[in-house]
Chain A
Amino acid sequence: MSDRPLSPLPRLPDEEPPTTEQVATTPAVETPERARRTDPRLLRRQWSAGHALVICVVALALGLLLNAPGVHKSAYNKPDGWQRDLALAFTGPLADLSHALLLDRPRIGVQALFGRSGADEIDTEIALPATPVPRNAKQTKKPTGSPKTPTAPRKVAFTPTKKLRLWVAGDSLVIAPGFAVVRAAGSSPVIESVGGVDGRVATGLTRPDVFNWFEHIRKQMKLLRPRAVVLGFGGNDDKAYMTGLPDDVTIDTFGGAAWRREYARRVGGMMDVISRAGGFVVWIGLPQTKSAEQTRRFDIVNAVAQKEAREREGRAAFIDTYTMFAGDDGGYTDYLADPNGALRKVRAGDGVHFEREGGDIIAREVLKALNRTYDLTSWRKKRSA
C-alpha cells in the first residue's frame, strides 16, 4: 500500500442505506427534479470537518463557562487526589470568570425555575449536637416535651391506630435493603414508612460537600418525625480525605487514630441528632465485598459504627451484614441458598451492592431490631382478648 493520500470520492448511492432523515443538503448536488420535490426551507447546509471541530471546541468552551458553577462543584466533589487538585485549579478560576462576566446567571435562573436553587452551592458545615447524648444512657420513658432533651425510646407500644413511623436514609448501599424494609413495613399494620427510601448515590459522612447529610437529617427529622430511622453509610467513606473538618483537626491516613476519632464524632453525632429528635437508629453495617482490599477498609468503617451504636444501647442498633452474607467458606458470595436449598442471587454484579433478595434478608434483621426495641405485637393480644 502506497503512502499517497487518497482523494475523497463522492459517496456511492448504495454505500449508505437511505434513512427517513436523509435529505440532500447542498444545492450544487440537487437535481432539478429533486429540488422541486424538496421544500427549500428543509435543505441543510453541510459544513466541513474543520468547521465541525471548531463548533465542538467553541460550544464546549462556552458551555463550560455557562455551567462553571456546576463544573466547579463536580470538581470539588471528586475523590481526593491529583485529578481533583488539577480539576479545582482549572474550574476555580473558570467559575470566577463566569461569575465576573455574568455568564453563570442563565444557569442560576434555569435552576430557580425548576426548583433547584442552590444546587451548585458547596456546603461543608457539619452541625452536630454541642453536647453529646450521655453514653449508655438507656432510658425507659417515652420521650416527651422538648425534642432537645436527650431521650431514647423505651419499649413503647405501637398499634394500627398509632403506627411506628419509619424512615430509611443513606448511601447507595441502603437502597435495596431500604426498599425491602419499606415493603416489610407495608405488610405490617403497625409500621408506617415515611419519606420512602432516601438513598443517595456516591454520598457519605466524610464529604458533606458532595451531600450534607448532617443538615439533611436534621431537617428530615423535623419534617417526617420518624420514631425509627434505618441508616446505611460508609460505602464511600473508606478514604483518607474528609471535608468539613474542624479547624484544629487533620486527617493523616485512612483508619488512623485521627481518622477514627473524626469519623466516630460524625457517626455518633448523627445518632445523637436522631436520638434527640426521638428516633431509634438501626445502622446497617457494610458487607464484605468482592474486593478483599475494600472489605478490609469496610471493616475499619464498621468497627467505628458498631462501637458508636454499642455506646448508645437502647437508642441505636447495629446490623452486622458481614457474616450475614458470607459464603460457605466465610468469604464473599453472590448467591445464598434459601430455606428450600435453591440458590438466590443476593449481591449485585458490582460485587458491592445488594440484590432485592439480599435486601429482604437485611430487612428481616431490621424488623427484629425494631421488635426488640418497640412493642409491635401486644396490640394483637389485646384485640384477641
Chain B
Amino acid sequence: MLFPTATFALFFLIVLPLSWLTMPWPHRWRPFIIVASYVFYAWWDWRFVFLLAGCTLWNQVLAVRIWRAGAQSQKRALLVLALAGNLAVLGYFKYYDFFVTSGSSVASLVGVEMPLEVKSIVLPVGISFYTFMAISYVVDAYRGAFEPTTLERFAVYLSFFPHLVAGPIVRPSELIPQFYRPRDPRRVDTSRAFYLIATGLFKKVVIANYLASSIVDEVFAAPGQHSSLEILIAVYAYAVQIYADFSGYTDIAIGIALLLGFSFPQNFDSPYAATSVQDFWRRWHMTLSRWLRDYVYIPLGGNRGRRPILTYRNLLLTMLIGGLWHGAAWTFVVWGGLHGAALVGERLWGERRGASARAPTGRARWRSRILTFHFVCLAWIFFRSDSFGSAWEMLGGLFTGWGEASPLVTSGVLLAIAVGIGSQYLPARIPRLVMARFSRLPVLGQATVLALALMLTSAMGPEGVAPFIYFQF
C-alpha cells in the first residue's frame, strides 16, 4: 500500500479513529494495530507477512534469552545466533542472486563452472528496514541498554505501519516506551503532522516524479545521447529527486505516526546545506547513519583504536556496508566506498590542520557547501547508474558534449531543482511559523488549506503513482 493513494487514505480513515478508540485499553490497541499493520504489509504480498511474523518471534525469543542469560559467553553465543538468523534472511532474500552472479563472473574469468544457480528471489519490501530494527533490539538487549519488552509490544514496534516499509529506523528505546502509556487524545500535534504530510506529498508527487520523468530517467538510461549540460543537470536533478522522494516518504511517515499519537525521530535535516561529508551524514538518512555508527562503526572499534589507520579502516568498512545495504550491486558498494574515502580524507585533513581546524565561516562555509554538494552528486552517479559502464559514460559525457543542443534542460526542470536545493536553506523559523499559524486556524480553515494543498499536488504532479525509490532497498 503506497501512502499517496486512495487505498491508503481509506485505510487510514478507518485505522485513525479505531486506534484512538482502542487506545485507552492497551491490550486491545496492540492487537488492533498489529492486525492493521499486517494488513498494510499484506496488501503488497500476503506471503511475506509470515516472514515478518517469523522475524518478530525469532528476535523476541533470543532477545529475552540474551537478557536472562547469566554468563557473558552465553549472551554472546545467543547474540551471534540472533544476528546470524537476521543476516541469513537478509542475505537470502536480498543478496543471494548478487553473490551467485558475482561468483559466476569471477568463475568465468578463471574458467570454472559456478556450482550455484540463481533463484530469482523476490525481495520482500521493507526487509532491510525491519531487519535493522530487529538487530538493534537484540544488540541493545545484549548490551543491557534496553530490557526486552513483551512479544506483543515488540510486534507493534517491528510492524508499526508508518515506518514498516521505508523507515525511519526507529530505536527500541525511542518507540517501545511510547507503547507503555496510552497517548493523550486531547493533545495531538496536528499542525506538524499535516504540514509534514502535505509537504511530503508535494515533494514526492510533484518534485521527485517530475524530475524523474522529465530528465533523470532519460539521461541515465542513455548518457551517450545527451549533451554535457543535460548530463550535468540530470545529476543535480537526481540529487534533488532522491532527496524529495525519500525525505517526502519519511515526512509522511512521521506525520501519520504523529496523528496516531506517536513521535518518530527526524530523518533529514537539509542535507545539501552540509559543509562536509561528515556533516552530510549527520543530515542525510539520519536514522541509518546513527544505526551504522552504533551497531557497526563502534563495535568495529570506532575511533578509539591505538592507531589512526584502524579508525580509517572502520570508517571505510562502515560506509561499504552502508553502500551494500542500499542494494545488491557493486555500484552501491562503490558509492559507499567513495563516501568512506571522503570521510577518511576529511579526518586526515583535520588531523593535519590540528588545532587550527575550525568550522568554516563566511565564504569558506559556502565553498565547503558547494564542494560537499558536488562530491555528493558525483557519488550519486554511481548510486543511480545501473552499471559501471553507464556511470563512466555519465562521467565522460560531462566533459565531451558541451555546446550541443540540450532540449531536456527546461525552465521547469531548473525551477524544480532550484526549489529542491533552495528549500534546504530556508530558515527553520519559517516552517515553524507556518505550522503555528496553521494550528490557530479553525477546523474548517485547516481542512480547506489541506484540500487546496491536495488539489495543487494532484494538478501539478504527473499522472500515476511512481513507487518510492527506497522501497527497493
Contacts of B439 in A (CB 8 A): 25, 44-47
A63 to B13 Cα, complex, angstroms? 14
Within 8 Å by CB of B455, from A41, A66, A341, lies: A66
- Within the complex, the shortest CB–CB distance from A294 to chain B, in Å, comes to 15
List CB contacts (< 8 Å) of A38-94 with chain B. Answer: 41-63, 65-67, 70-71
Asked if A42 and B451 make an inter-chain contact with CB atoms under 8 angstroms apart, the answer reads: no
Contact with A along B83-97 (1 / 0, CB 8 A): 000000000000001
Contact with A along B455-467 (1 / 0, CB 8 A): 1101110011000
Asked if A15 and B455 make an inter-chain contact with CB atoms under 8 angstroms apart, the answer reads: no
Asked if B120 and A290 make an inter-chain contact with CB atoms under 8 angstroms apart, the answer reads: yes
Q: Identify which of A150-158, A179-187, A232-240, A261-269 touches chain B.
A: A179-187
Asked if A343 and B114 make an inter-chain contact with CB atoms under 8 angstroms apart, the answer reads: yes
List CB contacts (< 8 Å) of A332-385 with chain B. Answer: 333-335, 340-345, 347, 349, 351, 355-356
Please count how many residues in chain A sit with their CB below 8 Å of the partner chain's CB atoms: 82
A43 to B438 Cα, complex, angstroms? 11
Contact with A along B108-127 (1 / 0, CB 8 A): 11000010001010110000
A193 to B226 Cα, complex, angstroms? 11
Within 8 Å by CB of B218, from A56, A57, A197, lies: A197
Contacts of B13 in A (CB 8 A): 56-57, 60
Closest to B103 in A: A343
Within 8 Å by CB of A110, from B108, B412, B460, lies: B460
Contacts of A185 in B (CB 8 A): 225
Asked if A8 and B16 make an inter-chain contact with CB atoms under 8 angstroms apart, the answer reads: no
List CB contacts (< 8 Å) of A244-301 with chain B. Answer: 290
Given contacts A23-B432, A59-B450, contact A67 B464 (CB under 8 A): no
Asked if B464 and A202 make an inter-chain contact with CB atoms under 8 angstroms apart, the answer reads: yes
A335 to B97 Cα, complex, angstroms? 10
Asked if B181 and A8 make an inter-chain contact with CB atoms under 8 angstroms apart, the answer reads: yes
List CB contacts (< 8 Å) of B435-463 with chain A. Answer: 435-436, 439-440, 443-444, 446-448, 450-452, 454-456, 458-460, 463
Indicate if B178 sits at the interface (CB-CB under 8 A): yes
List CB contacts (< 8 Å) of A165-186 with chain B. Answer: 175, 179, 182-183, 185-186
Indicate if B249 sits at the interface (CB-CB under 8 A): no
Asked if A55 and B447 make an inter-chain contact with CB atoms under 8 angstroms apart, the answer reads: yes
Contacts of A116 in B (CB 8 A): 459-460
Within 8 Å by CB of A9, from B120, B181, B266, B450, lies: B181
Contacts of B182 in A (CB 8 A): 6-9
- Within the complex, the shortest CB–CB distance from B214 to chain A, in Å, comes to 11
Given contacts A58-B444, A66-B455, contact A44 B189 (CB under 8 A): yes
Indicate if B221 sits at the interface (CB-CB under 8 A): yes
Within 8 Å by CB of A46, from B187, B194, B412, B432, lies: B187
Asked if A345 and B97 make an inter-chain contact with CB atoms under 8 angstroms apart, the answer reads: yes
Contacts of A202 in B (CB 8 A): 464
Asked if A60 and B185 make an inter-chain contact with CB atoms under 8 angstroms apart, the answer reads: no
Asked if B191 and A44 make an inter-chain contact with CB atoms under 8 angstroms apart, the answer reads: yes
Indicate if A21 sits at the interface (CB-CB under 8 A): yes
Indicate if B396 sits at the interface (CB-CB under 8 A): no
Indicate if B298 sits at the interface (CB-CB under 8 A): no
A16 to B176 Cα, complex, angstroms? 10
Given contacts A46-B188, A52-B190, contact A21 B177 (CB under 8 A): no
- Within the complex, the shortest CB–CB distance from A280 to chain B, in Å, comes to 21
Given contacts A186-B224, A349-B122, A349-B123, contact A51 B443 (CB under 8 A): yes
Contact with A along B256-278 (1 / 0, CB 8 A): 00010101011001000000000
Asked if A183 and B190 make an inter-chain contact with CB atoms under 8 angstroms apart, the answer reads: no
- Within the complex, the shortest CB–CB distance from B224 to chain A, in Å, comes to 4
Asked if A335 and B101 make an inter-chain contact with CB atoms under 8 angstroms apart, the answer reads: yes
Indicate if A303 sits at the interface (CB-CB under 8 A): no
Asked if A8 and B454 make an inter-chain contact with CB atoms under 8 angstroms apart, the answer reads: no
Within 8 Å by CB of B185, from A8, A110, A193, lies: A8
Within 8 Å by CB of A5, from B24, B222, B263, B266, lies: B24
Given contacts A44-B435, A46-B190, A47-B188, contact A59 B451 (CB under 8 A): yes
Indicate if A145 sits at the interface (CB-CB under 8 A): no
Contacts of A147 in B (CB 8 A): none
Within 8 Å by CB of A342, from B105, B193, B263, lies: B105
Q: Give 28 pairs: A residue, B residue, CB < 8 Å, sorted on A.
A: A3-B25, A8-B23, A8-B181, A10-B184, A12-B181, A20-B266, A26-B187, A41-B433, A42-B429, A42-B433, A44-B192, A49-B186, A52-B190, A55-B194, A56-B12, A56-B16, A60-B9, A61-B451, A63-B451, A66-B455, A67-B454, A67-B455, A106-B459, A110-B459, A114-B460, A179-B222, A197-B218, A202-B464
Closest A-B pairs by Cβ, 5 of them:
A62-B451, A58-B447, A5-B24, A179-B221, A63-B454
Give A residues with C-beta under 8 Å from B: 1, 3, 5-12, 14-17, 19-21, 23, 25-26, 41-63, 65-67, 70-71, 106-107, 110-111, 114, 116, 119, 175, 179, 182-183, 185-187, 193, 196-197, 201-202, 290, 333-335, 340-345, 347, 349, 351, 355-356
